[in-house]
């Protein structure tokens, strides 16, 4: 069955370290997204990609970067982790349909920056 | 400024009764609306959606109502079951072809169904 996976599921790191969160989907979807979930804010878009070599900034992109070298993967990198980046991170993918725009989500990565 | 708002952070309902979750939006360009359900330690999962050309969409126990003039939508769950206890997110998309692929989420409502 097609799926979307994230790794690691839990990560503890220190301020200033570089961290990369992996996202892999086997839906063969063109569109991939990274969100962070924080209490009171719901899901906020960090970066997104509409295809290989395409990346775009979302609402809360400062301090984050992504790259898209193939259809299946969209890794999220925190260049220099900050305590404000402690959050739960979700990756999602979708294929634009004429009638709906459902995104499929991964299980999430809980990141703690000390 | 939040474009999609869920003003009730939590809702408690007795098993068997109706649960009504509300969502308001401000962007008139939104033309597609979705509800997602999220259990702890899992990713959100799609529940039901509605296009702006409709005012109601039903799927089993779940019905979504859209009032475009009021920029308001609601999710009705009848009858509510303990397994429905989760966080429910409202989401919207629309506008130009690029932004149509993006979803803007509300802050979520924690539904608790009491046995």
- Per the prediction, chain B carries an average pLDDT of 93
Look at residue B97 in the predicted model and tell me its pLDDT. 55
Look at residue A41 in the predicted model and tell me its pLDDT. 87
Identify which of A42, A94, A105 has the shortest CB distance to residue B106: A42
Chain A CB contacts of B50 below 8 Å: none
Task: Please say if the pLDDT value at position A21 is more than 50.
Answer: yes
Chain B contact for A43 (CB, 8 A cutoff):
yes
Look at residue A1 in the predicted model and tell me its pLDDT. 81
Q: Which whole number is the average pLDDT over B66-71?
A: 97
pLDDT-derived band at A101, boundaries 50, 70, 90: confident
Task: Please say if the pLDDT value at position B5 is more than 80.
Answer: yes
Contact residues of B toward A, CB < 8 A = 4, 6, 9, 32, 34, 36, 41-46, 49, 51, 89, 91, 93, 98, 100-108
Q: Which long-range contacts (CB under 8 A, 24 or more apart) does A41-49 make?
A: A41/B107, A42/B4, A42/B6, A42/B89, A42/B105, A42/B106, A42/B107, A42/B108, A43/A90, A43/B44, A43/B89, A43/B91, A43/B105, A44/B105, A45/B102, A45/B103, A45/B104, A46/A76, A46/A89, A47/A74, A47/A76, A48/B101, A48/B102, A49/A74
Look at residue B101 in the predicted model and tell me its pLDDT. 80
Largest CA distance in chain A: 44
Instruction: Return the closest-CA partner of residue B108 out of A15, A57, A42.
Output: A42
How does pLDDT run across B12-26, given as a tens digit for each residue? 999 999 999 999 999
Q: Which whole number is the average pLDDT over A7-30?
A: 96
Q: Which whole number is the average pLDDT over B95-100?
A: 62
How does pLDDT run across B41-51, given as a tens digit for each residue? 999 999 999 99
Each residue of A50-70: b (16+ CB within 10 Å) or e?
beeeebeebebbeebebebee
CB atoms within 10 A of CB B109: 21
Instruction: Return the closest-CA partner of residue A88 out of A17, A5, A16, A9.
Output: A9
pLDDT-derived band at A98, boundaries 50, 70, 90: very low
Point out which residues pair with A34 in neighbouring strands. Answer: A47, A91
Q: Which of B4, B23, B33, B43 to mutate to test the interface with A (most CBs of A within 10 A)?
A: B43
Between chains, do B44 and A90 touch, taking CB under 8 Å as contact? yes
How does pLDDT run across A38-96, given as a tens digit for each residue? 988 899 999 999 999 999 999 999 999 999 999 999 999 999 999 999 999 999 999 86
- Retrieve residue A41's tokens: 């804010």
Report the C-alpha gap between A3 and A32 in whole angstroms: 13
Task: Please say if the pLDDT value at position A106 is more than 90.
Answer: yes
Instruction: Return the closest-CA partner of residue A91 out of A21, A20, A27, A2.
Output: A21
Q: Which whole number is the average pLDDT over B44-72?
A: 96
């Amino acid at each position: 069955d097609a799926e979307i996976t994230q790794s690691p599921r839990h990560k503890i790191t220190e301020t200033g370290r570089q961290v990369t969160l992996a996202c892999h989907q086997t839906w063969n979807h063109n569109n991939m997204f990274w969100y962070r979930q924080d209490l009171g804010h719901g899901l906020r878009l960090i970066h997104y990609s509409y295809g290989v070599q395409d990346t775009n900034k979302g609402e809360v992109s400062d301090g984050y970067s992504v790259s898209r070298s193939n259809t299946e993967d969209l890794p999220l990198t925190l260049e220099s982790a900050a305590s404000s980046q402690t959050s739960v991170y979700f990756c999602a993918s979708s294929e634009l349909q004429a009638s709906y725009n459902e995104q499929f989500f991964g299980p999430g990565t809980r990141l703690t920056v000390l | 400024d939040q474009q999609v708002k869920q003003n009730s952070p939590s809702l408690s309902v007795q098993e068997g009764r109706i649960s009504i979750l509300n969502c308001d939006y401000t962007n008139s360009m939104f033309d597609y609306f979705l509800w997602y359900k999220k259990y702890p330690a899992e990713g959100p999962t799609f529940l039901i959606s509605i296009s702006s050309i409709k005012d109601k969409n039903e799927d089993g126990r779940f019905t979504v109502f859209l009032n475009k003039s009021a920029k308001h939508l609601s999710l009705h769950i009848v009858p509510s079951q303990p397994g429905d206890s989760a966080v429910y997110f409202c989401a919207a998309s629309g506008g130009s072809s690029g932004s149509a692929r993006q979803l803007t989420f509300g802050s979520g409502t924690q539904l608790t169904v009491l046995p």
